[in-house]
Amino acid sequence: MEVLIEESKVQVQVSRCKGCGICINVCPEQVLQFSGDYNAKGYEYVRLTDEAACKSCTICALMCPEIALHIYR
């Protein structure tokens, strides 16, 4: 079963996230950060910190090498 962390704009597929931090670094609004929690593989996954500031630009999802982020507008 796929574990998803759902925010209204950003959906994180926890099992796919390897905690590389690329999405955090490329986010122009700086609204992503490490969650402090770990997936079954031992990787710290990301989460959206400020939904109102997120512009749904999709840069984070486009840069994610694991395709772990899905953006909704």
Q: What is the pLDDT of residues 12-71, one digit of tens each?
A: 999 999 999 999 999 999 999 999 999 999 999 999 999 999 999 999 999 999 999 999
C-alpha distances (whole Å) from 17 to each of 14, 59, 62, 63, 65 are: 5, 16, 14, 12, 9
Alpha carbons 52 and 41: distance in angstroms, whole number: 31
Contacts of 30 (CB under 8 A, 6+ apart): 24
What is the dotted CATH code of the domain comprising 4-71? Answer: 3.30.70.20
Q: What is the CA radius of gyration of the chain?
A: 11
- The whole-model pTM stands at 0.87
